[in-house]
Every structure is written in C-alpha cells, then in structure tokens.
Amino acid sequence: MKNLVRKLDSVDFLKMDRRTFMKAVGALGATVFLNTYKTEIVSALELEETKLIWLHGSECTGCSISLLNAGNPDIAQALTKLNVNLAYHETLLAQQGIFVDGKLANTSELNSEILLEELIEEGNYILVVEGSIPNGPNGSGKYLMLGNRTFKEILGAAAKNANAIVAVGACAAYGGITSADSDVAKDTDYRGVAFSKKDSKGGMLQELGIDKPVINIPGCPAHPDWVLLTLGAVILGKINIPEDLPDVLDQYGRPKVFYPPDHTVHENCPRRGFYDRGEFDDQVGGEKCLWKLGCKAPYAHADCAIRKWNGSVSMCTQAGGPCIACVEPDFPDMARPLYVEAEDKGVLLGANIDTISKVAVGAAAVTAGVHAVRRMKGE
C-alpha cells in the first residue's frame, strides 16, 4: 500500500485519466486519497461549490449512519475538502417543520418542504437517494408520504433536475430488505431508483418515464469509502456522465472498482485458509470457515475483505458473522435463510461444499496465491 501511495503521489492528480483515477480510488481508502490530494482537490474546486440533495425513502437510515461513522476524514471534513454543500438531508436538517411555535412557517429557513422545492427548482445538484420507493398500493405510491406528497412524486421531481443520481444502499439500488418476497410484496411494490432487484427495467425512474443514468452503491449498509470516493469522482469530473458509465459500472450499475465482477469477498476472506483445508465451523464463535453457518461470500462481489470496515480494522467474516451478500441485486432473497448453509448452490463449477473440502490443499493454496498476486498487482 505504501509503495502504491508513493507511486500515485508522483502523478499529477489534475492530469490523471479516468482509468488511473478509478484505480487510485479503488486501491486507496477515502482517508488516504483525500489527504494525499487535498491540495490539488482544493485547487480544482476553489471556484465552484457542489450542491447535494440527499433524499430518504423507505429505509432504516443505516447508510447515513455508516457515512457518519467514517473516521478520518469524517463526513464534515470530506464535504469541506470536496467543497460540497449538503443542502438537504432529512436526518441532518436544521429546519423545525411546517409549524414553529404554533405558527405556520412559510420560509425555507424553517420549512424543509419549501426548502426542497426551492432547491429542486434551482437545479444544478447531485441527487443522492437512500431507501427504496414504494409504488403501491396500485401504483399510487401512497405507502410512503412526506407531507402531502408521495415519495414517488418527490423523487421524480428531484431526478428530473439532477446533474447526477447516486443510489446509496441496497434499498435505493435494488429494493433491498423492503422488497423481499412476502405476502404483501405485490401490494407495497418497493423499487430501487433504477432497478427492481435484477430488473433494469423495473426501477422507479422507468416507472416514472425518466431516462437518466444512476450509479448504484449497494450494501446493507454501504461502506463510507464507496460513497465518498464515488461522489468525489463525480464531483471532480473523473467520471463523465453518461459517457464513462458503460466502462465504469457493471451490469447492475455498480462501480467495478469497488464491486469487481471477477472477484468475490470469499477470495480474500481472512478465513479462506480454513475453507481451503475443508475446516468449517458448525456453531457461532469459532475461528474456521463460516460456510456451514450460511456464509454467502462466494457470491458477493465487493472489496470488503481488502478494504475492511470500521477504520479498516475488521469485516463481517473476520468478526465471526457470515457474509450475507448484501451488495447483490437480489439480496436478501438469494441469501435467505441468512444463517443456513446454501446446500443447493454450487461454489465452484457446480461442485458443492463437501466436494470442495476434499480438493488437495496444495492446489487450493496455489489458486488462492494467484488471486492474491493479481489483486496486489491491481489486475
């Protein structure tokens, strides 16, 4: 990592092409990246402020909490370095509501509904959406009302005037937990911004007839680095929308640099050695492979095991929790039941886990070594 930082430090940040930039943000955490290039970033942005509107749909606010838990830089430092005006974020707003001290508040300084209307009318902002959008009942969207409007209507108005749209978290990207199969799923009809699970034609924007590209940052919650570095790339013009998106994003709208199509969490899992030797825990609290406890890491395309969480200290499987593949478009249904072995799914070329556990340790070690070398070389 230190050698990579020194190598990138010798490259003129403002002259980086898109490929070099995306490789840099993929390899470095938000802390290292923003601190390494803070002078150049300030120079690039000193004449222009970026406005951010952050909307909350049907969700638990977990992705905002994850972002607030970012360490160094924290969210305030990151917004300052990137010259971002977080103009609207329902969880963090200072506005007091429609009525203040019993009197109707008719100014944007006090009334958040008026503030949002004014910001949308002004345009020239990046729209971040957290949470899914209910289309039900019967296409009305009335399962989520904000004030006297449906969230479906608010999203449509905000999306039309946005310079860029980023869906943060599994719910905003694909529907997530709210869209899980259930007896009421058809009635509530929760959608992602541009996808409904794996369906790229079933998102809420398509339902509203709005043709705009969306960058998906899935996860339950999304990693702070994924959010900050993606927003940084958009703000700094290192991702040109929509021209660059076919090269930058995978088939589900995820930045390939954070969600590699050819790489899974399993490949760099701290418990990978136990998997290669066919050693599995059958109860919580052990130190071996978590496959038999329902780990879905072989199906999860994300850099969690390399980037890690909580200040790059740990991750789900390292802490003893099976991966639930929360970055995948058909989460949570593809992962349910969460903590039960997926006996009907092949891990490698259709082979089940019992077959895999009998593979020679030497061959498995060679394969793991090849993966590690490729990742270190950035291939």
Q: Is 298 exposed, middle or buried (0-12, 13-18, 19+ CB in 10 A)?
A: buried
Per-residue pLDDT band for 5 (boundaries 50, 70, 90) equals: very low
Same domain (yes/no): 278, 210: no
Q: Mean pLDDT throughout 166-192?
A: 97
Report whether pLDDT(267) > 60: yes
Report whether pLDDT(8) > 70: no
Q: What is the pLDDT of residue 350?
A: 45
Is residue 20 situated within a structural domain? yes
Domain boundary among 248, 276, 296: 248
Same domain (yes/no): 242, 272: no
Catalytic residue at 63? yes
Catalytic residue at 223? no
Same domain (yes/no): 188, 218: yes
Q: Tens digit of pLDDT for each residue in 139-172?
A: 999 999 988 899 999 999 999 999 999 999 999 9
Kindly report whether the peptide bond that precedes residue 224 is cis, defined as omega within 30 degrees of 0: no
3-state secondary structure 147-212: CCEEHHHHHHHHHHCCCEEEEECHHHHHCHHHHCCCCCHHHHCEECCCCECCECCCCHHHHHCCCC
Report whether pLDDT(60) > 60: yes
Exactly one of 89, 223, 269, 371 is catalytic; name it. Answer: 269
Q: What is the CATH number of the domain that holds 43?
A: 3.40.50.700
Catalytic residue at 56? no
Same domain (yes/no): 173, 282: no
What share of the chain has pLDDT > 70, as a percent? 82
Q: What is the pLDDT of residue 237?
A: 84
208-212, 231-235, 294-298: the lowest-pLDDT one: 231-235
Catalytic residue at 89? no
**Phi and psi at residue 146, to the nearest 5°:** -120, 110
Number of other CB atoms surrounding residue 63 within 10 Å:
29
* Best CA proximity match to 37, nearest among 58, 17, 11, 62: 11
Q: What is the pLDDT of residue 156?
A: 98
Q: What is the pLDDT of residue 378?
A: 43
Exactly one of 223, 263, 266, 301 is catalytic; name it. Answer: 266
* Best CA proximity match to 176, nearest among 130, 228, 224, 128: 130
The domain tally of the chain equals 2
**pTM across the whole model:** 0.85
Exactly one of 56, 171, 223, 263 is catalytic; name it. Answer: 171
Task: Write out the residue range of the structural domain in which residue 330 sits.
Answer: 265-377
Q: What is the pLDDT of residue 372?
A: 42
Domain boundary among 200, 219, 248: 248
Per-residue pLDDT band for 20 (boundaries 50, 70, 90) equals: confident
Q: Are 46 and 40 in contact (CB under 8 A)?
A: no
Exactly one of 223, 263, 289, 301 is catalytic; name it. Answer: 289
Here the tokens at position 134 are: 């209910």
What share of the chain has pLDDT > 90, as a percent? 60
Q: Mean pLDDT throughout 63-77?
A: 85
Same domain (yes/no): 244, 323: no
Distances in whole angstroms, Cα of residue 330 to Cα of each of 80, 141, 262: 36, 22, 18
Q: What is the CATH number of the domain that holds 272?
A: 4.10.480.10
Catalytic residue at 301? no
Exactly one of 220, 223, 263, 301 is catalytic; name it. Answer: 220
Same domain (yes/no): 336, 230: no
Q: What is the pLDDT of residue 13?
A: 55
Distances in whole angstroms, Cα of residue 176 to Cα of each of 62, 196, 292: 12, 9, 24
Q: What is the pLDDT of residue 28?
A: 75
Catalytic residue at 371? no
Catalytic residue at 295? yes
Higher pLDDT: 111 or 365? It is: 111
* Best CA proximity match to 295, nearest among 261, 329, 324, 272: 324
Exactly one of 60, 263, 301, 371 is catalytic; name it. Answer: 60
Same domain (yes/no): 143, 224: yes
User: Is the Cα torsion angle 87, 329, 374, 290 positive or negative in sign?
Assistant: positive
Catalytic residue at 304? yes
Is residue 106 situated within a structural domain? yes
Same domain (yes/no): 83, 171: yes
Report whether pLDDT(210) > 90: yes
Q: Tens digit of pLDDT for each residue in 343-364?
A: 655 554 345 555 555 553 444 4
Same domain (yes/no): 232, 274: no
Q: What is the pLDDT of residue 44?
A: 66
33-47, 87-101, 153-167: the lowest-pLDDT one: 33-47
Report whether pLDDT(230) > 70: yes
Q: Rounded to an integer, what distance in angstroms lies between the CA atom of residue 85 and that of residue 334? A: 38
Exactly one of 56, 63, 89, 371 is catalytic; name it. Answer: 63
Same domain (yes/no): 146, 100: yes
